[in-house]
Amino acid sequence: MAKSGIVAALTGASLVQKGAIAAGALFCVTVLWGAVQPREEVPYDPVKAHHEHPEQIVWSHNGIGNIGITGTFDRGQLQRGFKVYKEVCAACHSISRVAFRDLLALGFSEGQAKAIAAEYTVPSIDESGEPTTRPATLADKFPPVYANEVAARAAQNGAYPPDLSLITKARHDGTNYVRSLLLGYRDEVPTDFQKADTLWYNPWFASLAIAMPPPLASDEQVEYTDGTAPTINNYATDVSAFLAWTAEPKLDNRKETGVAAIAFLLILTILGYLSYKKVWRDVKKPKSA
């Protein structure tokens, strides 16, 4: 009965309708054929097999629940992180988007910030119009380590050390990623993964093989003056927090503004509702039929 109905439908259908029916039937057959075919086995990829995701830890600037809505930066931690950056990372990596005056937000006094700025030189012009250099001031930004990318690669055997100003924004889960990367160097390399002798194995790096040698070599590499234990773990945590701040130096201000805006809107909503109840209090509702 069904077969005769289909035949009758095809007999009375136009050429366009017949084409549509044929296309639909072909699509269904193709889908069914694909469903019953054996799946090709995904080729083994040692990079995906050994790649690790960043370790999740609690950060003060992420606030309640570690979700980032509340919380503020720990100024002591930021100062320690800057010290680690200055003594360990600054030899190769720039933070060229950060101005010396921004260090005041870390809790440094103006005199301390000026002293730090004076340790650097920036390009300038002398009285005769010739290019020269001068000590940096609070108005200047941290100068780049290398004049350009070519010079950087020449000094680093072809590798290009990235600017760290926005590194935690340029990487997924950036703050945890940087910390895990710094702590993630391993001496033992999996037997199914091959790397060049000039690279270091780090399962937290995208390709597992990184050109940067382990920057944090041992405990007490950087001297802390506030009583914090000078350990590799603390170095990695503190400098990661500092780089989170360089990427979002106004984060605390934005959170304060956001909380104030939410409080204002909440109060406005309550006042609007009370006004609505006051204005429409004496208006009788129409009787339902």
pLDDT of the residue at 33? 80
Ligand-binding site membership of 212 (annotated): yes
Q: Which residue has the higher pLDDT, 280 or 190?
A: 190
Ligand-binding site membership of 1 (annotated): no
* Calpha distance 46→44 (Å, rounded): 6
Task: Determine which of 12-16, 161-165, 217-221, 265-269 has the lowest per-residue pLDDT on average.
Answer: 12-16
Structural domain includes residue 199: yes
CATH of the domain at 63: 1.10.760.10
Report whether 55 contacts 176 (CB < 8 A): yes
Structural domain includes residue 88: yes
Structural domain includes residue 200: yes
Task: Determine which of 8-12, 173-177, 202-206, 243-247 has the lowest per-residue pLDDT on average.
Answer: 8-12
Structural domain includes residue 132: no
Instruction: Supply the pTM of this predicted model.
Output: 0.80
pLDDT-based confidence at residue 9 (cuts at 50, 70, 90): low
Structural domain includes residue 9: no
- Residue 4, pLDDT > 80, answer no
**Rounded to an integer, what is the distance from CA 48 to the centroid of its chain?**
20
pLDDT above 90: percentage of residues in the chain? 72
User: How high does pLDDT run on average in the chain?
Assistant: 90
pLDDT of the residue at 134? 94
pLDDT digits (tens, 9 = 90+) for 125-160: 988 899 999 999 999 999 999 999 999 999 998 999
Structural domain includes residue 57: yes
Ligand-binding site membership of 28 (annotated): no
Structural domain includes residue 91: yes
Structural domain includes residue 219: yes
Task: Determine which of 28-37, 89-98, 99-108, 265-274 has the lowest per-residue pLDDT on average.
Answer: 28-37
Domain of residue 192, residue span: 46-97+160-252
* Calpha distance 251→68 (Å, rounded): 10
Number of domains the chain contains: 1
pLDDT of the residue at 285? 65
pLDDT of the residue at 29? 87
* Calpha distance 60→66 (Å, rounded): 8
Task: Determine which of 23-37, 65-79, 160-174, 253-267 has the lowest per-residue pLDDT on average.
Answer: 23-37
Report whether 71 contacts 255 (CB < 8 A): yes
